[in-house]
Structure 1
Amino acid sequence: MAFSIAMPGRIVFGRGEALTAPGLISAYGGRGVVVHGATAARAGWLLAGLRAQGCEVIGLPCAGEPVLADLEAALDVARGQRPEWVVGCGGGAALDLAKALAALIPAPGGPMDHLEVVGKGLPLVAPPLPFIALPTTAGTGAEATKNAVIGVPDQGRKVSLRDDRMLARLAIVDPALTDGCPKAVTLASGLDAVTQVIEPYISAKATPFTDAITWPVIAPGLAALKVLMAGEDAGARDALAWCSVTGGVALANAGLGAVHGLAGVIGGQTGAAHGAICGALLGPVLAMNRSRTDGAARARIDAVCGLIAGVFGGTADEAPQVLTDWARGQGLPGLEAQGLARGSFGAVAEASALSSSMKGNPVGLGVADLVAVLEQAA
């Protein structure tokens, strides 16, 4: 048995912990960049707090899931600031853009030198700047991962910039920052959070460490999401935020699977929200993996299906479809409604089969299997 553990340098978790952010961040230096969501006012408290600490700081907006042009434009501005650190305060998109900036500001070249699949995929030469994460949604776990996902529309793909040194020096996970998140965003991002503890648990690359952190949060994460669809609840927000950060740590150490292998290609083609894509795929992928595995791998999937049934009803056999039906009933659109044309299913399956996430899937799925998953998720 041999494995390593990659984690943020420090994780601070709990309600009210965001209030400590200005003091903790200023310890990394007096000049920085804060990447926030489309509405700057939501990060106003942080910018004001940093300035009160004597920091020279600029804010950069991230209006949606970042694409290459967004990253290049942000780099031009951020390099002019000569920052000592970069903070991401927002959803997974803002955190990904901030993480990419922290990696590339010191780099002598541009993004295409380092992006996987569509670029040269070269390792970073210069160490990244310190990256500090304050997530305001519970979903991607980007506060705990070592990659930043960037869309490349010309190639119809979402690809990663990846390096162990891109892990956050500090992740401040305050569930209060997610309070009042709109229902549709909570649903999509929450399904992503749950997917990111399920896929590492059933991954071919699972370790005793990832088993220890994922298994205990799968059922609470599902239950919290169910509660939040019925109404606002602080305890459920806390549980889902913990599920999210746990998923980020887990995927950084055990990889993912076919849900994310397909989602990267679909997101690049449609521009649909990543969490919504994952939510539509989770049930169909579980069903396909269950039908193609046996032995220990099948036992893990059966165990997960049992947890789903415990939250949403039905039997373990029925769990993938029950979960899919529940999510649709809460308003989650299928893949066609998210912009994926049926005529593209074959091409999506072929491209997805080559993605890095597929290496963690518990069983090899062929193109025909992946097309069948897309049909079920449509």
Structure 2
Amino acid sequence: MTSFALRTPTEIRFGRGVAAGAAEAIAAFGPATVLVHGANPARAGWLIDALLARGVAITAISCPAEPDLPMLDDALAAARADAPASVVGLGGGAALDLAKALAALIPAPEGPMAYFEVVGAGKPLAAAPLPFVALPTTAGTGTEVTQNAVIGIPEAGRKVSLRSPAMLARLALVDPALTDHCPRAVTLASGLDALTQVIEPWLSARANSLTDALCEKAIPLGLRALATLMHAEDAQARDDMALTSLFGGLALANAGLGAVHGLAGVLGAETGAAHGAICGALLPHVLAANRTALPNDDMRQLRLATLDGWIARHLWVSPEGLAEWIRDAGLPGLGAMGLRSARIPQVAEASAAASSMKANPVVLPPETLRAILRAAL
């Protein structure tokens, strides 16, 4: 059996109602915290009230969009001024990424660019991060259990990671009730991201027995849940989608991703579109490219055939019909998200060097990457 290691947060709590224990857990870290929330501060009111009742001072920081370096710099200045004992992320993947980056960088002796991959110096963190507590309110990124934070660097036209095993959350509270009645468009985009993040690790060149077990449970579960939620609000489907997202975060942190995410990192900076929406638009076309490029006797061809069966069973479409199902559900193509056809060669070239490409099950040449982008327009 192939050897492997598993990196996870110190503690994961999953289930309806686990968020009720958040304030007590956060207060145990110390008398002051930074709370990063999404665009609507009212959704954080319940946690703010609970923390204040326990005497915890709060520095509240809004994350209204996917974080970039200027947003991170402003948040760092505000957070350091209050000497927090912990950092809390309450929101979607963007808010959690910003919170995770703050937890890592508040104690750091140098500025953010010293530690970023690809466009920065890529130095290891020189100081232990503050305790990070994650409470996701969407079921998509799985960032509550990963060791990196994705930040846009406008000057470089890229989204890159700040990454370290030390950045894993001290506590991840995955309460599906926090995702109830999430808007349909957000549910679709984040749900497709969650599915991509169990499909890509399952096909990954770095897959192992443990990540396989997570993905094989989550892929059909997530397909069925997303199909249900496109028709009606359903508590069980919300639970299943949250579990899919959690399993995806664990899987990608330990087995890597693939070409969908290799392209998505560049496209996010290129277009400003939501990460989950980009992943959803790319997924069918990357699957088709991998199917064509893999040798017929590769065991991942068997996995792709199994995936086709799950898609047929839960979405009632063939592999060729997946892109149409996604469009019919309401997700626009990359063109509508802002990708101009004239920029496809540059996006493909930049994407080829992305770290996620290294785990794709087969190397996809630049012309294939360009064909994927054109198909996803």
Aligned equivalents of 1:323 and 1:247: distance in 2? Answer: 20
Quote the residue 1:233 is aligned against: 234
Aligned equivalents of 1:303 and 1:369: distance in 2? Answer: 24
> Alpha-carbon deviation of 1:313?
2.1
SS at match of 1:362: coil
Q: How does 1:91-240 map to 2 (within 5 A)?
A: 91-240=92-241
Q: How does 1:247-326 map to 2 (within 5 A)?
A: 247-294=248-295, 295-314=298-317, 318-319=318-319, 321-326=320-325
Q: Does residue 353 of structure 1 match 2:356?
A: no
> Alpha-carbon deviation of 1:376?
1.1
Aligned equivalents of 1:337 and 1:286: distance in 2? Answer: 21
> Alpha-carbon deviation of 1:309?
1.6
Quote the residue 1:5 is aligned against: 6
SS at match of 1:81: coil
Quote the residue 1:366 is aligned against: 365
> Alpha-carbon deviation of 1:306?
1.8
Q: Deviations over 1:145-178 (max 9, x none)?
A: 1000000111111000000010101000000000
Alpha-carbon contact 1:335-1:377 (below 8 Å) kept: yes
Q: Deviations over 1:20-70 (max 9, x none)?
A: 111111111111110000111110110110111121112110010001000
Alpha-carbon contact 1:139-1:192 (below 8 Å) kept: yes
Unaligned runs of 5+ in 1: none
> Alpha-carbon deviation of 1:199?
0.3
Aligned equivalents of 2:266 and 2:311: distance in 1? Answer: 27
Aligned equivalents of 1:86 and 1:66: distance in 2? Answer: 16
Alpha-carbon contact 1:153-1:269 (below 8 Å) kept: no
Quote the residue 2:330 is aligned against: 331
Q: What code does the residue aligned with 1:54 have?
A: G
> Alpha-carbon deviation of 1:297?
2.1
SS at match of 1:159: strand
Aligned equivalents of 1:120 and 1:108: distance in 2? Answer: 14
State the TM-score, normalizing by the size of structure 2.
0.98
Quote the residue 2:29 is aligned against: 28
Q: Does residue 58 of structure 1 match 2:49?
A: no
> Alpha-carbon deviation of 1:185?
0.4
Which is worse superposed, 27-36 or 278-287?
27-36
Q: Deviations over 1:62-86 (max 9, x none)?
A: 0100010000000000001101100
> Alpha-carbon deviation of 1:308?
1.1
Aligned equivalents of 1:313 and 1:229: distance in 2? Answer: 14
Alpha-carbon contact 1:127-1:165 (below 8 Å) kept: yes
Alpha-carbon contact 1:290-1:302 (below 8 Å) kept: no
Alpha-carbon contact 1:142-1:248 (below 8 Å) kept: yes
Aligned equivalents of 1:306 and 1:359: distance in 2? Answer: 27
SS at match of 1:337: helix
Aligned equivalents of 2:39 and 2:217: distance in 1? Answer: 34
Aligned equivalents of 2:119 and 2:288: distance in 1? Answer: 31
SS at match of 1:327: helix
Q: What code does the residue aligned with 2:271 have?
A: T
> Alpha-carbon deviation of 1:329?
0.3
> Alpha-carbon deviation of 1:311?
1.2
Aligned equivalents of 1:297 and 1:246: distance in 2? Answer: 20
SS at match of 1:231: coil
Percent of aligned pairs sharing the same letter: 59
Aligned equivalents of 1:52 and 1:312: distance in 2? Answer: 46
Aligned residues: 374
Q: What code does the residue aligned with 1:44 have?
A: G
Q: What code does the residue aligned with 1:340 have?
A: L
Q: Does residue 77 of structure 1 match 2:86?
A: no
Tell me the C-alpha RMSD between the 2 structures: 0.8
> Alpha-carbon deviation of 1:212?
1.0
Q: What code does the residue aligned with 2:193 have?
A: D
SS at match of 1:260: helix
Runs of 4+ in 1 over 2 A off after TM superposition: none
Aligned equivalents of 1:28 and 1:50: distance in 2? Answer: 12
SS at match of 1:23: helix
> Alpha-carbon deviation of 1:269?
0.8
SS at match of 1:132: strand
Q: Deviations over 1:347-375 (max 9, x none)?
A: 11111110000011000000001111111
